[in-house]
Amino acid sequence: MRNTIITMLTVALLASSCARQPKMENECQYAQSQTAFAFWSPVAEQMEVRIYDEAVSDQPSVISLKKGRGDIWRGTIRGDQAGKFYTVRSFQNGEWSAESPGIFAKAVSINGQRGAIIDLQRTNPEGWDQDRRPAMPDKTDIVVYETHLRDFTMSPNSGIEHKGKFLALTEEGTKTADSLASGIDHLKELGITHLQVLPVFDYGSVDEQKAECSKLNAEGSYNWGYDPVNYNAPEGGYSTDPSDPAVRIREMKEMVQALHKAGIRVVMDVVYNHTYDVMGCALGRVVPQYFYRLNEDGSYANGSGCGNETASDHAMMRQFMVESVCYWAREYHIDGFRFDLMGIHDQETMRAIRAALDKIDPTILTYGEGWAAMAPAYPYEQLAMKQWTYTMPRVGAFSDDIRNALIGSPFDHERGFASGNTACKSAVCNGLVGCIGFEDPNGQLGAEPLRWAGEPMQHVSYITCHDNYCLRDRIEASAGEESEATKIRMNKLAQTAVLLSQGMSFIYGGEELFRTKQGIDNSYQSPDSINIIPWENKARYNDLYEYYRAMIAIRHAHKGFRLGSAEAVREHVSFLPIENEQVIVYRIANLEGIDSAKTLLVVFNGSAEAVETALPEGHYTILAEDGKADVEGLLCTEGPVLRVAPYSATVLAESER
């Protein structure tokens, strides 16, 4: 049977390749006078749409669809159908499939069981036509802050009314119990440019009727959302009324609009690499097996580690992904996409996505995880793995190289450079220049410099994200015997390297507040008590917060820390020859006409002792030292010796006397 199905699909796809491919995003096309349906299936013998007056109604009217050119099944229902619900099912191999909302449902009922017929124009908030992406004068300005909507807003000390909802990030003027800015005002104050939100499409692990729960219960009321059901409709658990399909759409748009007004772009975490399950998902019901990769024995391949992996290399899956990101970019004004387990997708698909988004706005971000959970069922050298990033221009990848070098691998309890490991210096240096294959005559990058990025902005510099330990817990796991003050020094040192690297800077939300998840390294379904941002920490660890804020300001103020091209990095960057394996001297010189400083110098000390190093002749403003930072400068020095405190970075800008 398996071979028969595959053969049928192959023949159908070859036949349809000569015809115009359908636009999946128009599966349900609403107009006041009629609603038109169009579904792609090369294997169906019959297809029908079932129309329901209510989301829970069990008495549908049935519309039989007719197969036309390109294996598209079409049908139309006259009159204004707004407010009704629909499902589609196909007859194949002697039986009817289970109902689904279709592959490209844009609006869905509670828990995504049925598609909803709505007028999308009516979901636009006031002023939506005037909404614009915040200005991005230079691609190197980017500083991404990642968070989960619920984690960021659920704390009783957040001062936010719509906790856990899209609307939480529309509230201005919110304050912590200590009268410090929280929510969207906190993000503005911090100085980040992009907010990356964990999945906000419709996902399967949370019952939207129970999404108000403040703690994890036996049924599971919390999840990060990496279990897609309907890729093109927002998750109802983040809306104030998940039973109304229009509310979740409108409120998500209101969130994007508010962030744009605050000068912050929005990055959407997308999980096209697998689905929540197979036969419970439209991709598995409408055209069985086609959208997934199979093993030789006919079982589903599992590169995601979640039971299946999608087949981006199949023409219609590739088209689906391209149309999906373009839909979010156009309809919701999304400014970027972070691809979960991007290494499961093929390189051609990622290049196609980049090309399609360029036609909308070239400043829309694309980056992802350049790896898979397990080996995908596709030739490795054709996958969008990190090592092939240079083949996908302007698609970035997370750098586990700089992450592991700075704080140690998440898979062991070893220390990193920022916590005293003497074996990580060269990897940190490679990360500082974006893993572009930087040739260093002074030998600070090791015998074979790392090269997987074509340009430094393809290198996503980070030390933590939602996966694995948060920074405080990672330091605790490897350096738990140290004092809290020392752990904070390590935190600052590691993040300084991220923020002053030539790559794209990425911060996990709450690290600036010294958050802890109580040692849980995979908190995807842990309760709020583990995952929430502890807003009370903003007062308790205000020195740490202000350091992050100052370092972001320093990055923004000095183009030398974000030169933007491999050519410029090779021209201006050098590493001074330092034999001490716990000291790095990172120099960006000859910056006249590029930066307000003619030279920038950073000395990283990853040891428990203060160190001294010779300072090249010049007049310097110290922007940061000993865990303090100020974009305007702390003091001035001319050397000739620079003393750098334990587990800290000293940042200097040379200017004319």
Catalytic residues: 340, 369
Of 137, 168, 136, residue with least CA distance to 150:
168
- Name the DSSP class of 501: S
Q: What burial letters (b/e) apply to 264-301, b meaning 16+ CB within 10 Å?
A: bbbbbbbbbbbbbebeebbbbbbbbbbbbbbeeeeebb
Beta-strand relationship, 194-197 and 265-270:
parallel
Say if CB 199 and CB 238 are below 8 A apart.
no
- Name the DSSP class of 151: H
Burial bucket for residue 56 (CB in 10 Å: 0-12, 13-18, 19+)? exposed
Structure tokens at 226: 């990496």
Beta bridge partners, 88, equal: 49, 100
Cα dihedral value 89, 92, 98, 104, nearest 10: -50
Beta-strand relationship, 201-203 and 228-234:
antiparallel
Q: Is 318 helix (H, G, I), strand (E, B) or coil?
A: helix
Q: Cis (ω within 30 of 0) for the bond into 640?
A: yes
The dihedral region occupied by 258, where left means phi > 0, alpha psi between -120 and 50, and beta the remainder, is alpha
Quote the strand ranges of 148-212, DSSP E: 194-197, 201-203
**What phi and psi, each to the nearest 5 degrees, are found at residue 7?**
-60, -45
Dihedral angle sign, alpha carbons of residues 453, 314, 311, 147:
positive
Q: Concatenated DSSP letters for 115-141? A: EE---GGGGPPTTGGG--PPP-S-GGG
Q: Is 614 helix (H, G, I), strand (E, B) or coil?
A: strand
Query: CA–CA distance from 148 to each of 21, 22, 92, 127, 163 (Å)?
Result: 36, 34, 41, 26, 12
The dihedral region occupied by 408, where left means phi > 0, alpha psi between -120 and 50, and beta the remainder, is left
